[in-house]
Amino acid sequence: MLAAIVALNLFRNGLTITVSLRIFDKHLIVHARNHPLNAYIMKARQLENLIGLLTLGIIISLASCKKDNADNGQDKPVLQGTSFWESNLIEINPDTTRYFYLFSLTRSGNQLTGEVFVRDSSAMKQGVISGVITQDSIFFTADFDLNKLDFSFKGVFERESGLPSLTGSVNSSLPGAGGGEEMLVVASPSVDFHCPDVFPDNPYVFRKVSSSEHPNDSSVIFIHGMTGDLTHWNSVIESLSADFKKRHDVYVYQYNWKDSIRKNGKILLDSVNAAGLVNPIIVAHSMGGLVARAYIAKGGPVATLVALGTPHLGSPLATLVKLLCFINFPGPKDMAPESACIKSLLASANDAQNRKKYIVFAGQMKGSFKIVNHRLKWVWAEDYYDIMDKVGFDAFVLFKSPANDGLVPLSSGLFEGYTVKERNPVLEWVDHKNLRNPFISKQVMDYINAL
């Protein structure tokens, strides 16, 4: 049995769209159709947990895509320049081993060439790619000195509901793959993993954005999460009620999320002291909640901490630093469950004494396998799920698929095992990014306005 996920990132007109490929054994799919729906979905989910998947993204540079409008009948190349891919194949026998493939595709006319690297548990090996592209159809083979690592790919670009997708198959020589039989492929949006300096450093900003009529009341500080900036709170700030703004001065804190969490907590403490704030309320998303706790651990006063999707116990995705370059910085690595940062916050006396002021919210992404046009497809519970959260949700397969919001395990977001002031009901079907969306997470917005 073999399965893989590959993802591709499409650049079009300066915008980034990404696509991930789920690959399943076609014989298992046919067999599953004979089961009742519930049993079928369970079996498909077990298959996903068993097989491995691409946890990361593939970057594909598209200078132009095939246009399907009526006023332009000429096809343009769907792929130009050099693209970068990463995939995960799993060998079931004799032991479960995941192979991480990283490869490039360079187009010259209708010819494809490239290099391919594969990492298993012990070594990195290199191979070569050759293939062809005809209109929107792609075929290539990857050849290694070690034959079992060889694979071939063929597929076509499609559009469904306005979103780019890719349908095709992969053929691998890995033992346990059914003797080289083809694996069906369906593509869905994914995330860019290559990060060619996609995320610049954030300048530090501590800014008042709204003044109240009663400045003696607690000021409220909004703190963004990883890869974010102060603009991530624009919709929330615009949704604050007039009564809220009468009660509270409103501040935003922008920090460099690449820096260590403890450093960002210290700079927040200095900023609060410089502004003369006595006992602020803090509303923080994701990593921002850990920055707030680092501030508290250093003696920073707080009236209430409202934490949205904060990995209080860490997130195992932060251990994938060799695969996801955008987390290969001190701040993201601080969120690993066994990091010195997480351990020090849990052991902090100041943090422990203030947990009676912590309000936690956590979301949970969901979806199910369904038959769509005679194909097995994973269908997300909601259309609004963020691309990065979808890939993170898939990546949790590497950690036995705990309930999660795409980036943070549910148990970590709820701060399970520790006493807090209020642990709110799980926001079912809400992904990590949208915990701070005032229209999707209305319960959160209502809570904030009632502070």
- The answer to whether residue 292 is domain-embedded is yes
- Residues 182, 43 share a domain: yes
- The answer to whether residue 273 is domain-embedded is yes
Q: Which among 144, 163, 189 is the end of a domain?
A: 189
- The answer to whether residue 171 is domain-embedded is yes
What's the rounded mean pLDDT across residues 324-339?
A: 88
- Residues 434, 325 share a domain: yes
- Residues 282, 153 share a domain: no
Per DSSP, helices labelled H in 18-127 are 26-32, 37-51
CATH code, 341: 3.40.50.1820
- Residues 276, 226 share a domain: yes
What's the rounded mean pLDDT across residues 118-140?
A: 75
Percent of the chain with pLDDT over 70: 66
> Looking at this protein, which amino acid is placed at residue 442?
K
What's the rounded mean pLDDT across residues 60-78?
A: 39
- The answer to whether residue 255 is domain-embedded is yes
Q: Please state, in angstroms and rounded to a whole number, the distance separating the CA atoms of residues 39 and 288.
A: 40
**Residue 254's pLDDT is what?**
96
- Residues 212, 166 share a domain: no
And the tokens for 232?
């991530």
Q: Which residues form the domain of 146?
A: 4-189
What's the rounded mean pLDDT across residues 414-425?
A: 97
- The answer to whether residue 221 is domain-embedded is yes
- The answer to whether residue 386 is domain-embedded is no
Paired strand residues for 24: 184
- Residues 9, 99 share a domain: yes
Q: Which residues contact 383 (CB under 8 A, 6 or more apart)?
A: none
What's the rounded mean pLDDT across residues 158-165?
A: 58
- The answer to whether residue 58 is domain-embedded is yes
Per-residue pLDDT band at 436 (split at 50, 70, 90): very high
- The answer to whether residue 9 is domain-embedded is yes
And the tokens for 403?
């309930």
**Residue 287's pLDDT is what?**
98
**Residue 141's pLDDT is what?**
85
- Residues 246, 113 share a domain: no
**Residue 369's pLDDT is what?**
80
- Residues 241, 167 share a domain: no
**Residue 34's pLDDT is what?**
32
Domain count for the chain: 2
- Residues 213, 98 share a domain: no
Q: Are 335 and 282 in contact (CB under 8 A)?
A: no
Q: Which among 159, 189, 219 is the end of a domain?
A: 189
What's the rounded mean pLDDT across residues 126-144?
A: 85
